[in-house]
Amino acid sequence: MVSGLGEVAAGLSKGALQPSELLEACLTRIAALDDKLHAFLRLTERTARAAAKAADLRRAARQPLSAIDGVPIALKDNFCMEGVETTCGSRILQGYVPPYDATAVARLEAAGAVIVGKLNMDEFAMGSSTENSAFGPTRNPWDLSRTPGGSSGGSAAAVAAGLVPGALGTDTGGSIRQPASLCGCVGLKPTYGRVSRYGVIAFASSLDQVGPLAPDVQGVALLLQSIAGQDERDQTSSARPVPSYGELLEKSVRGLTIGVPKELFAEGLDGQVERAVRAAMARLEEDGCTLKPISLPNAPHAIAAYYLVATAEASSNLARYDGVRFGHRAQADSLLEMYQATRAEGFGAEVKRRIMLGTYALSAGYYDAYYLRAQKVRTLIRRDFEQAFAAGVDAVVSPTCPTTAFRLGEKSGEPLAMYLSDVYTVPANLAGLPGISVPCGFDQGGLPIGVQLVGRPFDEGTLLRLARAAERGREQRTPEGF
Ligand code: GLN
């Protein structure tokens, strides 16, 4: 039943669909199907029903707040929403009820979107499979023995299974694009600064970015339109005007140049994934794009640099969870013991690993060798992209992920194997660039494959245009049983 968010918006606009009906249909599907997936951590049925009723009236009066007025949307559980428990997939935040909305959430609500609930994720967004959630893993709708990817695995699974027409996620190293790829939906990580992170629980602040997931490119464009733009509460948000993505989307891709980096089509890439990605590239070429071989010589160092920068920032961001201000507090005799016991009980193994790695990378005597060096590599990676763009490349293409969805448990005991799942997505985060994953085919086992496009800063418009063209030629399927 996966109909695109674009279609849903058109149905609402014509009056063929009513927001309340649409919400009830989603709630019914969630009740019937989410036991199999565990995409949702909690629903916000009461407030959603009230919001949908208000949207019914606006739609009936033909006075919608925006194109997504009345569209049901779900949120990764690291977005604060006033009065709704927000755990970030962690025991340490169990019981934390934020007294305010994240800006992205407030903007969705101001556009009339109906927030349905909160979605599962890897604890503190650290992971690539959603297995690091303290509340149990999410499953992939295409094969319930496999992971949906992560860390926005709940978002991707819910969208791919047609439980909601759209969701928000966050992407620090690939957490929107990788699960979108493994679940067969579209996921966009905007440029660093394009969307406010105010009220989004921080993982690695120089990398984190908020973005949409939807079954279709148009849906992603509609969601981006409503959340993008400057916010005085996030100093890293950009003042650049937000263009009309809906208009840019429909422009022809003729004449665009797509860079094909040899480093991202190398060892470790599954043959079936490569074939599907190259077929998508050939379709773009038929549409009038030029494919140009390029080199991103420092891209092979991206994973190493990322896992130093991200862990260093995480170790600092997570210092605030000490049992005093947020969520879980352990019983202990002294303040110091309370801190220690709270953190020991509250954080899971991967989060503890990252805090230790990050603390080590930042400590006196090791700072220059690790953290500072990683920052230099980061600059080199950004320059590689700048050179490609200066040479006339409009976007860089690659697979989103080296393989299709892996089995639950397959990589959970091997952090390095898990980290390598992000090898193609991490460079865009380090360089601050926008990136999108679009479904482009299936492997022999029927698992979806995604192609990634990375663009110039603030050029989400070109990415959406290319993604729309790539999407046109793809084979449409729905996961069995959903
Ligand atoms: N999988 C990567 C990590 O574990 C990326 C996570 C993310 O983008 N939030 O850090």
Ligand 1 atom at minimum distance from 150 CA? 1
Q: Check whether 315 has a pLDDT greater than 80.
A: yes
How far does residue 311's CA lie from ligand 1's centre (Å)? Answer: 10
CB atoms within 10 A of CB 302: 28
CB atoms within 10 A of CB 319: 11
Ligand 1 atom at minimum distance from 350 CA? 4
Q: Check whether 114 has a pLDDT greater than 60.
A: yes
CB atoms within 10 A of CB 34: 20
Ligand 1 atom at minimum distance from 127 CA? 4
Q: Check whether 229 has a pLDDT greater than 50.
A: yes
Mean pLDDT of 470-478: 86
How far does residue 128's CA lie from ligand 1's centre (Å)? Answer: 6
Pocket probe for ligand 1: among 78, 119, 126, the residue whose CB has the most ligand atoms within 8 Å is 126
Pocket probe for ligand 1: among 88, 124, 128, 170, the residue whose CB has the most ligand atoms within 8 Å is 128
How far does residue 203's CA lie from ligand 1's centre (Å)? Answer: 9
Residues with CB under 6 Å of ligand 1 are 125-128, 151, 171-175, 203, 310, 422
Pairwise CA distance, residues 320 & 311, whole Å: 15
Pairwise CA distance, residues 192 & 254, whole Å: 27
pLDDT tens profile 118-168: 999 999 999 999 999 999 999 999 999 999 999 999 999 999 999 999 999
How far does residue 150's CA lie from ligand 1's centre (Å)? Answer: 7
* Nearest Cα to Cα of residue 5 among 233, 208, 167: 167
Give the pLDDT confidence score for residue 473 in this predicted structure: 75
Q: Where does the pLDDT of residue 267 fall: very low under 50, low under 70, confident under 90, or very high at 90 and above?
A: confident
Pairwise CA distance, residues 355 & 357, whole Å: 6
Could you write out the DSSP letters of every residue in 362-427? HSTTTTIIIIIHHHHHHHHHHHHHHHHHHTT-SEEEEESSSSSPPBTTSSTT-HHHHHGGGTTTHH
Q: Where does the pLDDT of residue 1 fall: very low under 50, low under 70, confident under 90, or very high at 90 and above?
A: very low
Do 181 and 236 meet the contact criterion of CB atoms below 8 Å apart? no
DSSP-based three-state secondary structure for 84? strand
Catalytic residues, which ones?
76, 151, 175
How far does residue 127's CA lie from ligand 1's centre (Å)? Answer: 5
Distance of CA 414 to the CA centre of its chain: 23
Q: How far is CA 199 from CA 108, 202, 243, 268, 326, in A?
A: 14, 9, 24, 37, 14
Pairwise CA distance, residues 294 & 287, whole Å: 20
Mean pLDDT of 254-270: 95
**DSSP 8-state secondary structure symbol assigned to residue 268:** T
Q: Check whether 302 has a pLDDT greater than 90.
A: yes
Does residue 151 have a cis bond before it (omega within 30 degrees)? yes
How far does residue 373's CA lie from ligand 1's centre (Å)? Answer: 20
Mean pLDDT of 435-458: 98
Ligand 1 atom at minimum distance from 176 CA? 8
Ligand 1: which residue has its CA nearest to atom 5?
Answer: 173
Q: Check whether 294 has a pLDDT greater than 90.
A: yes
CB atoms within 10 A of CB 14: 8
Residue linked to tokens 């496999």: 146
Ligand 1: which residue has its CA nearest to atom 10?
Answer: 126
Mean pLDDT of 251-258: 97
Mean pLDDT of 178-193: 98
Q: Check whether 2 has a pLDDT greater than 90.
A: no
- The reported pTM is 0.98
Pocket probe for ligand 1: among 189, 422, 452, the residue whose CB has the most ligand atoms within 8 Å is 422
**DSSP 8-state secondary structure symbol assigned to residue 195:** B
Q: Where does the pLDDT of residue 34 fall: very low under 50, low under 70, confident under 90, or very high at 90 and above?
A: very high
According to DSSP, the residues that pair with 209 across neighbouring strands are 171
How are beta strands 166-171 and 209-214 bridged, if at all? antiparallel
Pairwise CA distance, residues 370 & 217, whole Å: 39
Q: Check whether 281 has a pLDDT greater than 60.
A: yes
Residue linked to tokens 């380090």: 430
Mean pLDDT of 65-69: 98
DSSP-based three-state secondary structure for 199? coil
List alpha helices for 269-334, DSSP H. Answer: 271-286, 302-317
Pocket probe for ligand 1: among 151, 353, 411, the residue whose CB has the most ligand atoms within 8 Å is 151
Ligand 1 atom at minimum distance from 126 CA? 4
**DSSP 8-state secondary structure symbol assigned to residue 478:** -
How far does residue 402's CA lie from ligand 1's centre (Å)? Answer: 15
List alpha helices for 141-251, DSSP H. Answer: 153-160, 177-183, 217-227, 245-249
Give residues with Cβ within 8 angstroms of 402, minimum separation 6: 268, 269, 270, 273, 420, 421, 423, 424
Give the pLDDT confidence score for residue 472 in this predicted structure: 86
CB atoms within 10 A of CB 350: 18
pLDDT tens profile 361-418: 999 899 999 999 999 999 999 999 999 999 999 999 999 999 999 999 999 888 888 9
For residue 415, the one-letter residue type is P
